[in-house]
Amino acid sequence: MTKDMLTEYNIIMRLLFFKLALPVLIFVASIACDDTPYKVRIMDYDIEKDAYRLRAVEIETLKDINRLEGRATSLIGGAKIEINFIKQMMSWDKPGRHVAFRAIKSDGVYIPEDFDSLAMVSIYYNMEHAMLFFESLGMPHNLSGQLNTYYWPDLTITEKDGNVADTYTMEDNAFYMYTTQNDRNFYVFPYKKYEWLPMGMNLGIMTHEYTHSVFDSLVVDPTRNTVGANMENSSKNFLYGLNEGCADFMAFASTADPDFMLHSIRKNTASSIYKEIVRDCSDITQYDKSFDSSARSSAVKKFYPYDIGSFFASTLYEIAQKVDASEGNTSQIPSKHARQIVAKTLYRTLENLGNTLTVDFELWDFFNLFVSQTIDDNIKKATCDTLEKQYAMYYSEIVGC
DSSP assignment of 78-141 equals S-EEEEETTTTEEEEEE--EE----EEEETTEEEESSHHHHHHHHHHHHHHHHHHHHHHHT--T
CA angle, residues 333, 338, 350, in degrees to nearest 5? 115
pLDDT the model gives residue 99: 98
Q: Which long-range contacts (C-beta less than 8 Å, at least 24 apart) are formed by 340-343? A: 340/136, 340/137, 340/253, 341/375, 341/379, 342/249, 342/253, 342/316, 342/379, 343/133, 343/137, 343/249, 343/250, 343/253, 343/254
How would residue 29 be classed by pLDDT, with cut points 50, 70 and 90? very low
Mean pLDDT, residues 263-271? 74
172 in a structural domain: no
Which residues have a Cβ under 8 Å from the Cβ of 132 and sit 6 or more positions away? Answer: 60, 61
51 in a structural domain: no
What DSSP line would sit under 55-72, residue for residue?
EEEEE--EEETTTTEESS
pLDDT the model gives residue 84: 93
| Beta bridge partner(s), residue 59 | 38
Total number of residues shown for the chain? 401
Mean pLDDT, residues 301-330? 94
Of the candidates 175, 323, 317, the one whose C-alpha atom is nearest the C-alpha of residue 250 is 317
177 in a structural domain: no
How would residue 197 be classed by pLDDT, with cut points 50, 70 and 90? confident
CA distances from 220 to 56, 144, 213 (A): 37, 12, 10
Choice among 32-46, 61-75, 333-347 with the minimum mean pLDDT? 32-46
Element (H, E) at 342: helix 336-353
294 in a structural domain: yes
30 in a structural domain: no
**Which residues constitute the domain of residue 221?**
202-401
Choice among 82-86, 164-168, 279-283, 334-338 with the minimum mean pLDDT? 164-168
Query: With 50 as the cut, is the pLDDT of residue 315 above it?
Result: yes
pLDDT the model gives residue 267: 72
- Percent of the chain at pLDDT > 90 equals 71
How would residue 195 be classed by pLDDT, with cut points 50, 70 and 90? low
Mean pLDDT, residues 215-219? 96
115 in a structural domain: no
What DSSP line would sit under 182-215, residue for residue?
TEEEEEEPPPSS--SS-GGG-HHHHHHHHHHHHH
Which residues have a Cβ under 8 Å from the Cβ of 193 and sit 6 or more positions away? Answer: 171, 172
103 in a structural domain: no
Mean pLDDT, residues 42-58? 90
Q: What SS3 class is residue 164?
A: strand
Choice among 5-19, 299-313, 337-351, 381-395 with the minimum mean pLDDT? 5-19
* The amino acid at 281: C
Of the candidates 367, 374, 340, the one whose C-alpha atom is nearest the C-alpha of residue 353 is 367
298 in a structural domain: yes
pLDDT the model gives residue 27: 42
Task: Assign residue 268 a region (left: φ > 0; alpha: ψ between -120 and 50; beta: otherwise).
Answer: left
- Total structural domains in the chain? 1
Give tens-digit pLDDT for 281-308: 999 999 999 999 999 999 998 899 999 9
Which residues have a Cβ under 8 Å from the Cβ of 38 and sit 6 or more positions away? Answer: 58, 59, 62, 65, 110
pLDDT the model gives residue 275: 61
Euclidean distance between CA atoms 244 and 209, whole angstroms = 9
CA distances from 190 to 42, 80, 198, 277, 362 (A): 18, 13, 9, 18, 38
Mean pLDDT, residues 353-375? 95
Give tens-digit pLDDT for 80-130: 999 998 998 999 999 999 999 999 999 999 999 999 999 999 999 999 999
Query: With 80 as the cut, is the pLDDT of residue 4 above it?
Result: no
Query: With 70 as the cut, is the pLDDT of residue 194 above it?
Result: no
